[in-house]
Structure 1
């Protein structure tokens, strides 16, 4: 039987936990602040949110080029977003930016939102947006292909987020824009992890994606370096993953 004293301790701990979670939530960007709503939202607002949820569910149907660990089927963009959030949680203590540089909740929100536009725009593997540099013979990102992709995704963002109430549409679009611009510490880390995840996924299934594109170490390393060279841990992870892929004969 739980004693009165023990029950009191449990109550204090529960209260402290709730207070901590509330204080953490207050650290969010101003566009993500707690509304303090005291009345029930309108059926119109909830209807818009439901419309968005039904539409965003289609992300589960978007197929990426990399395979899941049983090597039997390709990963969906929704699975990628989930695994990316887990990846950040596992690496966050080793990334050089401090807790003051990166808003933890905003980071997770960004990772969950970053590929939602693929509901309409689809997924484009990095190696389909490259061209060969005439001076070096190495693969580099094709500016024209990248600009075309960015325009398609911007239109998809406008279409998808229009399902939401205006305040949420602004919030979701702000997260997506920040990720794409890659100017804040949060966005830089998010984009770096996004690019690294393809290497992680390839390591889960014997480099099947590398082989499909006849990729090489010399091509992969420059493409990933530009997204992770700002952080020692992310750069080391890229070197480990690509070094192992080369050793295994996948690239």
Structure 2
């Protein structure tokens, strides 16, 4: 009976959580939320959002962790997430509270729940990472339903909110980028939250953006990329070009880790592929047969092979290298079309024939491929799963950052998917109007080292 008494005493003790009030408001701001409401809402969120956490977890352990994570506040009290406090003092009080409150239980259960509480705090296991993401998400939800009550009260800057949301950003990026990001930006635009520009990465297109018309990286652009990385900001290249071509262009800029290639059909981290999306071989074969019919020149890239009737300018120097690792197959008359897994099809120099091909492809395969212009008199086709925006999401997920911590720069239709995903979107002065109309900023032209001039001011590189 002593064991039962200890257990009932603990159950009676934790009833006090109903009286521990948090800073968050409930019922559209009519009163403060208490700890038991927070834990219930958080546990329900865990069940509902489970699909967005990509690792296998023991859900019973997760729910236990959620239900007991705030028990320590019975004695330690609630610490406002955006208030001024000593993290060390907060932790000391909560450890003391954990030992006293869980100490009411029989020894075996005391050890189990103290272990669970420490696991939640340490955030090292998959279960604790998921539980913490649900914790931060629930707090955000209460803020949304109360018209940003806690943000209005404590005036946190964007960087502090992102720090608080980091478990969601890292472990459930679809939830952050698909929901939280836009609400946060709403209150930045309203002036409730100060945007202190907590930039973690810069993603730039190459041709028409980082490169001049004659395909050079100016010294000013090169130096700005290096200074960006010295500032601790990742520098990402996002191009319609192949990985080999990009690496050759940026060989004098050390420290670049991420490469979004072939308009998002490939994503590399250094020399390791993070992602690859090919066009269905039957579809690419049919498209190339249509090119043959209308006599349109093309280049098809995939599996370290370039099959072409007209060589893409990006390969002019690479084809001369014996150790390029690419197999070039020339078919001037387009009579020996090869069926294969291609990541990108490129077409050249004929807007009239582009129109014919585009109408043909979009009528038959609009749900399977993306078609867009990527340069002057150049049209690209890639898999529906491949675009620069998706490539940027893959990089952001790998880095554990939000899309609203990225600056993206571009100039053409193939950059729009990337520019639309970020808050800090930049078009070059030489960009098409359709691009300029959908971005937040316009930089100087690529011929004037516009990337460098923008980053020097925006990131305060000088």
Paired residues for 1:165-180 under 5 Å? 165-180=106-121
Residue in structure 2 matched with residue 88 of structure 1 by the alignment: 46
Residue in structure 2 matched with residue 112 of structure 1 by the alignment: 67
Q: Secondary structure at the match of 1:74?
A: strand
1:187 aligns with 2:142: no
Q: Secondary structure at the match of 2:49?
A: helix
Deviation per residue, 1:122-170 (Å, 9 max, x gap): 110121246xxxxxxxxxxxxxx11111111010000001110111111
Change (3 A) 1:88 1:247: farther
Q: Is the 8 A contact 1:206 1:250 kept in 2?
A: no
Name the count of aligned residue pairs: 192
Distance in structure 2 (CA, Å) of the matches to 1:74 and 1:164: 30
Change (3 A) 1:129 1:238: farther
Q: Secondary structure at the match of 1:183?
A: coil
Structure 1 alignment gaps of length 5 or more: 1-42, 131-144
1:197 aligns with 2:138: yes
Change (3 A) 1:226 1:87: closer
More helix by share: 1
Q: Is the 8 A contact 1:179 1:187 kept in 2?
A: yes
RMSD in angstroms over aligned alpha carbons?
Answer: 1.8
Distance in structure 2 (CA, Å) of the matches to 1:129 and 1:186: 29
Q: Is the 8 A contact 1:199 1:241 kept in 2?
A: no
More strand by share: 2
Distance in structure 1 (CA, Å) of the matches to 2:167 and 2:129: 11
Residue in structure 2 matched with residue 149 of structure 1 by the alignment: 90
Change (3 A) 1:238 1:229: farther
Residue in structure 2 matched with residue 206 of structure 1 by the alignment: 147
C-alpha displacement of 1:248? 5.2
Residue in structure 1 matched with residue 77 of structure 2 by the alignment: 122
Structure 2 alignment gaps of length 5 or more: 194-462
Paired residues for 1:14-53 under 5 Å? 43-53=1-11
Q: Secondary structure at the match of 1:229?
A: helix
Residue in structure 1 matched with residue 156 of structure 2 by the alignment: 215
Change (3 A) 1:245 1:200: farther
Structure showing greater radius of gyration is 2
Residue in structure 2 matched with residue 77 of structure 1 by the alignment: 35
Distance in structure 1 (CA, Å) of the matches to 2:131 and 2:82: 20
Residue in structure 1 matched with residue 343 of structure 2 by the alignment: none
Residue in structure 2 matched with residue 240 of structure 1 by the alignment: 182
Q: Which has the higher relative contact order, 1 or 2, with Cα contacts under 8 A spaced 6 or more apart?
A: 1
1:60 aligns with 2:18: yes
C-alpha displacement of 1:238? 3.3
TM-score when scaled to structure 2?
Answer: 0.40
